[in-house]
Chain A
Amino acid sequence: EVQLVQSGAEVKKPGESLKISCKGSGYSFTSYWIGWVRQMPGKGLEWMGIIYPGDSDTRYSPSFQGQVTISADKSISTAYLQWSSLKASDTAMYYCARLSSSSWFDPWGQGTLVTVSS
């Protein structure tokens, strides 16, 4: 079974750093792009960026370029999303998802809730 399992919920203060993870299993992790999607409370889905774990080629949405860093460690089949200095506006649910045939996201991880509050 193809599966993506994300790290647990985080509560952080403004200005702190954070790295959340997404571990793939049941398929060749290095052969598919992995995407990250943000969902702010009560809002819709926003694409943040994608990474190809095979060679770490990374593409960002212009809205998130410079705001986050996407990386991957193919040796442990894990993709990451990180912030160097969190803001309250980063409070959201973050999903990872495998990109199939370069067009659709399937499957999705269960989501990681990030809460940033002083």
Chain B
Amino acid sequence: QQPVQSPQAVILREGEDAVINCSSSKALYSVHWYRQKHGEAPVFLMILLKGGEQKGHEKISASFNEKKQQSSLYLTASQLSYSGTYFCGTADSGGTSYGKLTFGQGTILTVHP
């Protein structure tokens, strides 16, 4: 079953912060986050594994609450280059699952000057 992302869209001014949430009905082993620019391929941002870790990538970080089966992506001091569609991808089993992901429907982030 597809994870649910919220919000569906968000509009920011440069320098503002945003949070994108990803929620699953299944027990999760890992959560991936990707950003896709219009007409391009998605680009990997980060992966969070079972264990509740939080990771960072420049001014973008994420958390993973395995008990709630949720992950959140935090974008701080947004830049124009952050604009795009953000997808979470979830893997609902580890071990031999080899990272097969189910993606959310995406969150469109628009950053204005």
**A and B from one complex:** no
